[in-house]
Amino acid sequence: MTKPAISRELLEILACPVCKRAVKLKGKELVCVGCGRRYPIVKNIPQMLPDELR
């Protein structure tokens, strides 16, 4: 069994920086349940910058 990219506790408090909705873990990225934006997880750190700042 592989270790998740981030902890469940962290996932529960994270929100999309654009629409403020919850995010779900899909592979090695977070996906917003509201707007569908995708945020990569690099070295176990979510990179949750809005599109214009990436």
Q: pLDDT band at 1, cuts 50/70/90?
A: low
Is residue 1 in a domain? no
| Number of domains the chain contains | 1
Instruction: State CA 44 to chain mean position distance.
Output: 11
Instruction: Categorise residue 33: left if φ over 0, alpha if ψ from -120 to 50, beta otherwise.
Output: alpha
End-to-end CA distance of the chain: 32
Residue 3: both structure tokens together: 């270790």
Is residue 28 in a domain? yes
Query: What is the model's pTM?
Result: 0.85
CATH number, domain with residue 29 = 2.20.25
Angstrom distance (rounded) from CA 44 to CA 54: 18
Query: What confidence tens digit (pLDDT) does each residue in 17-31 have?
Result: 999 999 999 999 999
Query: What confidence tens digit (pLDDT) does each residue in 26-46 have?
Result: 999 999 999 999 999 999 899
Q: Which domain holds residue 38?
A: 8-53
| For the chain, counts of helices (H) and of strands (E) | 1, 4
Is residue 2 in a domain? no
Q: pLDDT band at 52, cuts 50/70/90?
A: confident
